Structure 1
Amino acid sequence: MSTYRLKSVFAPQSIAIIGGSPRERSAGRAVVRNLKASGFPGQIAWVNTRYDQIDGMATVHELTDLAYVPDLVIVTAPAPMVPKVVATAAQRGVAAAIILTAGLGQGPGSLAEATEQAARAHGLRLLGPHCLGVIAPHARLNASIAAHTPLPGDLALISESSAIAAALVEWGVQHEVGFSAVVSLGDAIDVDFSDLLDHFALDRHTRAILLYVESIRDARKFMSAARAAARGKPVVVVKSGRAPNSGGATHTQTLARSDAVYDAAFRRAGLLRVGALDELFAAAQTLGRLGTFPGRRLAILSNGGGVGALARDQLGALGGTLATLSSATVDRLDRALPDWSRSNPVDIVVDADGERYAAAIEALLADAENDAVLVVNVPTAFTSSADAARALVRSAGQRLRYSRAKPVFAVWLGGGEAALSALNAAHIPNYATEADAVAGFMHLVRYREAQTALMETPPSLPEDFVVDSTAARAIVEAALAEGRQWLDPIAASNVLRAYGIPTARIWAAADADAAVRLAQPLLDEGLPVAVKVLSPDIIHKSDVDGVRLNLVSAEAVHAATTALIERARRLRPDARIDGVVVQPTVLRPKSRELIAGIADDPVFGPVIVFGRGGSAVEVIDDVALALPPLDLRLAHELIGRTRVSRILKAYRDVPAADERAVALVLVKLAQLAADIPEIRELDINPLLADAGGVAAVDARIAVAHSRQLHKGRGHPRLSILPYPKEWERQLTLTDGSAVFVRPVRPEDEALFRAFFARVSDEDLRLRFFQSMKHFSHEFLARLTQLDYARSIALVALNGQGEMLGAVRLLADANYERGEYAILVRSDLKGAGLGWQLMQIMIEYARRQGLRLVEGQVLRENRTMLAMCRELGFSFKPDPDDPSIVNVTLPVGDAARASA
């Protein structure tokens, strides 16, 4: 349901509290007190079957006794009563309910299930159960059991834990940090993280969103909402639960620990993850008072050399950059200060008074060689910390003269009420230690860099990037039909070959004589041979010492094979031993051993794993994870997050490895995970990489019948929907020319730029409602980098690959309505392309289950209006702009039934 009826949770006009008692620790009584204390302006009713009045406030016995239908009910009744209470509210037409009551259980037959079913039947939204409630200071709403009401601000907090939400409320009150809303999810039987991310992404009072996460239930819904929210606002998340996995059958499965998968998901969505609650507090402090800024160069000012040095060291440890001082700034500080360090950190010594602080601060704010300024004060007997704080406030108040975007961070060691009050009143973020302040600075740096990465255009895939998914699928389906969980080595090799991943040649031999016959041609070529034990029950050959390399004679092959089979049977008498596999020993002396593969996560589905390979891969633990699908930019970023990426570069007499070839393997594995959901685990170890490319030496693939992991349409297992190849089409225009239509890809930015160059200024104005002379990278990235779970854009290409037109449809968060837009090259009007693109768009909307397609058309755009009329759209003037016509087309079941 997403944002449906959430307005009644955060801005209700009337509220009814159900339950409670005169007891001091009554939840219902606490909520009423908080509602009154927060100055809630709407109607408040109290429903209670046992008391006629509580605290002087009259109650009614039943919700049906009220003369009006409240927008919101807050349920504090005992658990067994909750389903009936919710059913009554839903039948009366109440929009939303907050359930504070605990103990409703989970799963089939529980009180929680009965409550959810009663609400869903009438569209009643539920927050909770077992939650703290909701606080929306801008609406003067405190519908919670929190001890205090925070100040109005622009931070939205969504917490799975009531205790964490309450702690952050108290922290905000103490530090004068305001919130746009505080929400505790509790057991989240309806409203979840995704719904609230969608809500706060569009909330005008919210500038940044804070999340406390314990687990995600609907990964696809979460990823879609998180990616949408993070493109517009900072989203900071702290997650509990870093327990290690119990292990897996493959190296990749063992390495794909649950917390690492969550980390990969947050990274992919553009969220800023922090490690602990104190970091979340620091991020709240920073985001609540500062905007983002370009750059990572920090200038540090202090009246003590030691603390300045500590800040410098912390900056280096977190990956920040110590700013240099321009010569003009050095000259200015020389004139203003009697004594100072003449370098960054700028130490203005222990007797620095407010005037000296002001001079140094103003000089650093004016210096274009830094991006932010950290000001530290150490209390001394010579000066007043309060005077220094007031000097900072005065100087910071003038910073618009220097740089609108340059932030200031403060650390006043030892505090002091007067100093901290001055800083808080000026909304200057201040921290207990220099380490906290540097962390706050780096939070903003990391967020901005994540946003930049989200907008980067990936390199185009090579034209020979062709996969044979049909052949690979046939191999997998044959194994499943035979009841096998693992592909044999030859089948695994053939799957990799079908996806263009270079692999060593491989053959199966039942005994030593067969191994010699297969090895002889290789030996005749002068190639050394490898033999490896072949058993469906022995996943890691090293467990039985089941590999022999560099065999250079038939006698050596025969002896090695005999020994391997005998040893495997002795060590694993329970295992089926089918013989050995024979392959050439891969001799690439300057190659690097890597690991690449696919792991299966119970929440997010397939995960791509990359890192340092070899038999000790778990001990080395140099690995990074990413969610598929991948493009080349994401693949290179994945490689760059490992330590082994450093030795892919050239060093000493070793030439650089072909990193692009490694990245292509990762993209192909992601494509394989998308094409064949039945592949559950895939392990290439080692994957050798050198200047000549890559080679997969050994591979294991586990398969299982696919099951639906995520709700909704599309791929059954990926948490991010892949490129929707099924929407590719071949069209014929009225002049007989052929046109290829396909979904937009992230690498299409250059295609769009060239297309817009061939569209007239007038047509661009009609499409974008304003004159368009320049198309920035950020603008084009938003057109080409899509979340296929919510939107689609289709481009039409001619035989030369030139873009002829495009249509797009963006679904709302409730997945009921979709807004369309279309543009065709100006020299192609009348060729029928626009009509056919609109038909495909309408077909897509119907397939996705939307109820309505809508759009806005300039009244003067007669061509578009005529086409809409022919397609059956209805017209209505825009109430806010007489130059615009709103057009709508029903596409749901009712529309098809009446057609």
Structure 2
Amino acid sequence: MSQQYTQPTIAERAHDILRSEQSSNPLNSIFAPQNVAVIGASEKQGSVGRTLLWNLISNPFGGTVFPVNPKRPSVLGIKAYPTIQDVPAPVDLAVIAIPAPAVPGAIAECVAAGVKGAIIISAGFKEAGADGIELEREVLEQARRGNLRIVGPNCLGVMSPHTGLNATFASAIARPGNVGFISQSGALCTAILDWSKQENVGFSAFVSIGSMLDVNWGDLIYYLGDDPHTKSIVIYMESIGNARSFLSAAREVALTKPIIVLKAGRTEAAAKAAASHTGALAGSDVVLDAAFRRSGVLQVNRISDLFDMAEVLAKQPRPKGRRLTILTNAGGPGVLTTDALIAMGSELSELTEETRTELNRFLPTHWSHSNPIDILGDAEPQRYTQALEIAAKDPNSDGLLVILTPQAMTDPTKTAEALKLYANVTGKPILASWMGGADVIEGEKILNNAGIPTYQYPDTAARVFSLMWRYSYNLRGIYETPALPVNLADSNSCSLVTQIIDTARQQGRTLLTEVESKQVLAAYGIPVVPTYIARSETEAVEYSDRIGYPVVLKLFSETITHKTDVGGVQLNLPDADAVRSAYHKIKTSVNQYVQNNPDSGMGAQPCAPTKPDSRLPTPDSPFLGVTVQPMLKLDGYELIIGSSLDPQFGSTLLFGLGGQLVEVFKDRAIALPPLNTTLARRMMEQTQIYQALQGVRGRKSIDLEALEQLLVLFSQLVVEQRWIKEIDINPLLARPDSLLALDARIVLHSPETPEDRLPKLAIRPYPQQYVSQWTMRDGTIVTIRPIRPEDEPLMVQFHQTLSEESVYFRYFHLIKLSQRIAHERLTRICFIDYDREMALVTEYHHPQTATREILAVGRLSKLHGCNEAEFAMLVGDRHQRQGLGTELLSRLLQVGRDEKLDRITAEILAENRAMQKVCEKLGFHLHRAADVVKVEFEL
């Protein structure tokens, strides 16, 4: 009997279907409560407590409202209770509007009463200073005793328009719709609410998240991702809070539901204002941009863009490229739209000859014969539809914009009626701009109702298309199958690096020498220029003679970071005399710089002892000698690759134009580790130097694939060596036939830093600790390891080996092979977030053919809103009864223990007895029903 677990996991379910576990999500007590208590309910006109109570009772949500006020027997004619523990019915949600010092006590009473959700409207917490921070600590301590989830404090509240819940002090409830709106600013919430009523925009949820003491972006993104009413998620953000939680949730949800973010505090002055308002530190703007790209989030800069994008992404398909075709009955708007399009980084499509020929058959002689396609001012509806149909078939086009200006011969309404039939038949996004006033209103309504978004001005439509392409481009970069990286560092290399770093830390140093830095790079397979340490003029000449002239001398120091700043680099030295002179110049320049800058921090630090020779450096000097390197001909491009710390996202990666003027040109791209080859290429593409690297003006392209691999190796170094605080390769010399690190600089965290306080990565790296070999019952040696994005081709081969019985046992029904191996599906299988789930594959290397094969897959997926997970298992038919199912499930249980989960569950078909036996063997409790067996393991 096949050993397959049959229930689809979370990662494989469509986000627009309400999952069964949603009903047990703790946030349901906030968004769909049966009973609500208002702690601080008041009769006082204009008070928050009165407004909250009135909003709850005047918008029926299907439950009961209980005022809590120890000073009044009733509020607004409703019986009041002294405390929430006196309420005669179970309370799901408590809305708290009392002075901040009293909130910890109220939360304690909520926990005692069994309340599972709270909204703290009250202000006066961390935004108020140290006393407020202590109050937050007390509130959170009380809430965690009873697993009570909190929205706020310092927030407007929560609306759930589809149920009628209005737990806010806003003036009116939002319209029901399909946009989930989350804002850190309560004032912006009220402004958006007023605007939405004028624009007839509806919401599935309307949340003022406040200071995010407990419920954060990630919690709400997951919840709205599971919500069938929500089609897109719109966010106004001032601070990101828990970066890993946000990125993890966004990466999972963004593929099926667009997430559009307006981030405030992008300038330094605004960032300070935001920090004052929310009590959170502002991170680097360029790093935040990189984080959004990595998670598939679309960042916009205007409030109007938030809802324009939510609408268009819900109605129209995403463009596959940046090329737009413009169809217009007036030349001027077409030209202005082109300017806006190019400024946003998109481009006009080039019409093919076939398209021009087809258009020539019916368009007037004087049509534009190019894009924008000007079909002239007397264009009737049929001319519009014919031109649109032909333009949409052009393979060079990724999207279409139809512009209409009201002219004497134009009928905006009839034209809209004719075009609405093409709303969803081209496979490309179609946008429209019906320019004008009252004459075009009816046409706009027709197009909007048909699913073709309209814009008053065509340059706005061009901007929307460009944002659509940016969103599509980011998602494609995340889920594009990368190449398998080569030459990843082995355990011996990692041990060498650890030894180098440990030695520096034991000596009290935070700066590795250039030689040590290059040894670290070389251990990870990054080519470095040969470098020798000379502690005297004589040694410098000896090494120079051995290397061959010309040579380069650089300062060798354990305390000075930037050698050029202190005259510590001498280039192109042609002979021994020049080497001696350069050695003296560097020594004199460094010592003079230190004397003139006594507070520079470049004085003595512990270092290795030297011989008592007047020609040698002394221990009390930052000058310890020089390094000698060959003077290479700079016949390539000087690049920089680096990593530094961001206060919110931890280690970040940098790539760009290098050399001495790196800070002048600032041609760089930022990304978050870890990288794969696809993400490395996307990082390169964001820079101006990338165009030159591909070859310009007769110069050959450098080996871009080799550069991708080098970036992946560098990323691995940053991920694995957590004691490294900063690292630079500048310059990295890139030639058509080689890549070579000419200089390197590594700064470590302070030796006094506890290891558990080292910054964590925002994205969880590949869990190498779960990689090991295992022997099957027949003696075959296999490797069990976490799945990688690069495994997609192997997963295709794996599914080709499965029988119908195996497929049926796994999925409860038969699924065609073409569906199982579709890229869109396998991206969710292979491109996993190790913070949310773990998939272990059994891999076999064929000794004769050197090919690889996946034999089995086991998956553990955390459930949203609780500390549990479900497992899945699929063993290939030819490798069943070899113990693979038992071994994989045993390892998944260990993963659950490592993640400190409470419970692991699954559902298995009743006839799949082999899998049930595996579960019994490992200690699962089985609960049998007619068709399905529920299995549970308490950790």
Same fold (TM over 0.5): yes
Instruction: Please tell me whether the aligned partners of residues 329 and 363 of structure 1 are also in contact (alpha carbons under 8 angstroms).
Output: no
Q: Please give the alpha-carbon distance, in whole angstroms, between the structure 2 residues aligned to 1:339 and 1:499.
A: 63
Instruction: Please tell me whether the aligned partners of residues 358 and 390 of structure 2 are also in contact (alpha carbons under 8 angstroms).
Output: no
Shift of 1:37: 4.7
Shift of 1:161: 1.6
Q: Please, which of 737, 746, 749 is the counterpart of residue 792 of structure 2?
A: 749
Q: 1:354 to 1:747 in 2, by over 3 A?
A: closer
Matches within 5 A, 1:200-219: 200-219=224-243
Shift of 1:370: 4.7
Q: 1:758 to 1:875 in 2, by over 3 A?
A: same
Shift of 1:439: 1.7
Partner residue, 1:512: 537
Q: Please give the alpha-carbon distance, in whole angstroms, between the structure 2 residues aligned to 1:25 and 1:337.
A: 66
Q: 1:139 to 1:413 in 2, by over 3 A?
A: same
SS in 2 for 1:838: helix
Matches within 5 A, 1:228-243: 228-243=252-267
Partner residue, 2:831: 785
RMSD: 3.0
Shift of 1:142: 1.9
Q: Which moved more, 1:257-266 or 1:102-111?
A: 102-111
Partner residue, 1:93: 114
Instruction: Please tell me whether the aligned partners of residues 643 and 652 of structure 2 are also in contact (alpha carbons under 8 angstroms).
Output: yes
Q: Please, which of 38, 58, 64 is the counterpart of residue 43 of structure 1?
A: 64
Greater length-normalized contact order (CA 8 Å, ≥ 6 residues apart): 2
Q: Please, which of 331, 338, 360 is the counterpart of residue 312 of structure 1?
A: 338
Shift of 1:72: 1.3
Partner residue, 1:410: 433
Q: Please, which of 727, 731, 735 is the counterpart of residue 686 of structure 1?
A: 731
Q: Please, which of 875, 892, 897 is the counterpart of residue 841 of structure 1?
A: 892
Q: 1:418 to 1:664 in 2, by over 3 A?
A: closer
Instruction: Please tell me whether the aligned partners of residues 376 and 413 of structure 1 are also in contact (alpha carbons under 8 angstroms).
Output: no
Instruction: Please state if 1:537 is matched with 2:582.
Output: no
SS in 2 for 1:110: helix
Partner residue, 2:902: 851
Instruction: Please tell me whether the aligned partners of residues 709 and 716 of structure 1 are also in contact (alpha carbons under 8 angstroms).
Output: no
Q: Which moved more, 1:577-586 or 1:84-93?
A: 577-586
Shift of 1:441: 2.0
SS in 1 for 2:204: strand
Q: Which moved more, 1:730-739 or 1:190-199?
A: 730-739
Instruction: Please state if 1:502 is matched with 2:527.
Output: yes
Partner residue, 2:417: 394
Q: Please give the alpha-carbon distance, in whole angstroms, between the structure 2 residues aligned to 1:310 and 1:877.
A: 68
Shift of 1:646: 1.1
Q: Please give the alpha-carbon distance, in whole angstroms, between the structure 2 residues aligned to 1:425 and 1:297.
A: 26
Instruction: Please state if 1:621 is matched with 2:643.
Output: no
Matches within 5 A, 1:649-668: 649-668=694-713
Q: 1:373 to 1:552 in 2, by over 3 A?
A: closer
SS in 2 for 1:223: helix
Instruction: Please state if 1:104 is matched with 2:125.
Output: yes
Q: Please give the alpha-carbon distance, in whole angstroms, between the structure 2 residues aligned to 1:450 and 1:292.
A: 11
Residue 90 of structure 1 aligns to which amino acid in structure 2?
V
The one-character-per-residue Cα deviations of 1:485-513 (angstroms, maximum 9, x if unpaired) are 10112211211111121112222233333
Partner residue, 1:159: 183
Instruction: Please state if 1:64 is matched with 2:85.
Output: yes
Instruction: Please state if 1:439 is matched with 2:463.
Output: yes
SS in 1 for 2:716: helix
SS in 2 for 1:599: strand
Q: Please give the alpha-carbon distance, in whole angstroms, between the structure 2 residues aligned to 1:706 and 1:230.
A: 40
Q: 1:225 to 1:60 in 2, by over 3 A?
A: same
Q: Please, which of 808, 811, 832 is the counterpart of residue 883 of structure 2?
A: 832
Aligned length: 868
Instruction: Please tell me whether the aligned partners of residues 488 and 524 of structure 2 are also in contact (alpha carbons under 8 angstroms).
Output: no
Instruction: Please state if 1:347 is matched with 2:347.
Output: no
Q: Please, which of 702, 720, 727 is the counterpart of residue 675 of structure 1?
A: 720
Partner residue, 2:312: 286
Partner residue, 2:294: 268
- TM-score, normalising length from structure 2? 0.86
Shift of 1:308: 1.7
Q: 1:472 to 1:263 in 2, by over 3 A?
A: same
Q: Please give the alpha-carbon distance, in whole angstroms, between the structure 1 residues aligned to 2:172 and 2:312.
A: 22
Instruction: Please tell me whether the aligned partners of residues 598 and 669 of structure 1 are also in contact (alpha carbons under 8 angstroms).
Output: no
Residue 659 of structure 2 aligns to which amino acid in structure 1?
G
Shift of 1:413: 3.9
The one-character-per-residue Cα deviations of 1:754-810 (angstroms, maximum 9, x if unpaired) are 222333332233223324422112222222212111211122223423322221211
Shift of 1:581: 2.1
Partner residue, 2:279: none
Q: Please give the alpha-carbon distance, in whole angstroms, between the structure 2 residues aligned to 1:302 and 1:128.
A: 49
The one-character-per-residue Cα deviations of 1:28-79 (angstroms, maximum 9, x if unpaired) are 2222343345443322222234445555555444333422122212111122
Q: Please give the alpha-carbon distance, in whole angstroms, between the structure 1 residues aligned to 2:552 and 2:351.
A: 61
The one-character-per-residue Cα deviations of 1:679-736 (angstroms, maximum 9, x if unpaired) are 000011001010121111111100115968999xxx9621211111111122222223
Shift of 1:338: 10
Instruction: Please tell me whether the aligned partners of residues 119 and 152 of structure 2 are also in contact (alpha carbons under 8 angstroms).
Output: yes
Shift of 1:621: 0.4
Shift of 1:190: 0.6
Q: Please give the alpha-carbon distance, in whole angstroms, between the structure 2 residues aligned to 1:357 and 1:689.
A: 52
Shift of 1:579: 3.7
Instruction: Please state if 1:487 is matched with 2:527.
Output: no
Partner residue, 2:486: 462
Instruction: Please tell me whether the aligned partners of residues 708 and 716 of structure 1 are also in contact (alpha carbons under 8 angstroms).
Output: no
SS in 2 for 1:783: helix
Shift of 1:258: 1.0
Shift of 1:530: 0.8
Q: Please give the alpha-carbon distance, in whole angstroms, between the structure 2 residues aligned to 1:347 and 1:171.
A: 35
Partner residue, 2:855: 804
Partner residue, 2:155: 131
SS in 2 for 1:232: coil
Q: Which moved more, 1:763-772 or 1:746-755?
A: 763-772
Q: Please, which of 641, 644, 648 is the counterpart of residue 686 of structure 2?
A: 641
Q: 1:721 to 1:706 in 2, by over 3 A?
A: farther
Residue 784 of structure 1 aligns to which amino acid in structure 2?
C
Instruction: Please tell me whether the aligned partners of residues 302 and 348 of structure 1 are also in contact (alpha carbons under 8 angstroms).
Output: yes
Shift of 1:477: 0.9
Instruction: Please tell me whether the aligned partners of residues 303 and 378 of structure 1 are also in contact (alpha carbons under 8 angstroms).
Output: yes
Q: Which moved more, 1:51-60 or 1:629-638?
A: 51-60
Instruction: Please tell me whether the aligned partners of residues 531 and 580 of structure 1 are also in contact (alpha carbons under 8 angstroms).
Output: no
Partner residue, 1:473: 498
Q: Please give the alpha-carbon distance, in whole angstroms, between the structure 2 residues aligned to 1:674 and 1:84.
A: 43
SS in 2 for 1:286: helix
Q: Please give the alpha-carbon distance, in whole angstroms, between the structure 1 residues aligned to 2:451 and 2:700.
A: 53
Instruction: Please state if 1:182 is matched with 2:206.
Output: yes
Q: Please give the alpha-carbon distance, in whole angstroms, between the structure 1 residues aligned to 2:76 and 2:349.
A: 61
Partner residue, 1:301: 327
Partner residue, 1:252: none
Q: Please give the alpha-carbon distance, in whole angstroms, between the structure 2 residues aligned to 1:563 and 1:710.
A: 44
Q: Please give the alpha-carbon distance, in whole angstroms, between the structure 2 residues aligned to 1:474 and 1:374.
A: 61
SS in 1 for 2:162: helix
Partner residue, 2:606: none
Q: 1:747 to 1:83 in 2, by over 3 A?
A: same
Q: 1:869 to 1:538 in 2, by over 3 A?
A: closer
Q: 1:36 to 1:476 in 2, by over 3 A?
A: same
Shift of 1:418: 4.1
Instruction: Please tell me whether the aligned partners of residues 355 and 390 of structure 2 are also in contact (alpha carbons under 8 angstroms).
Output: no
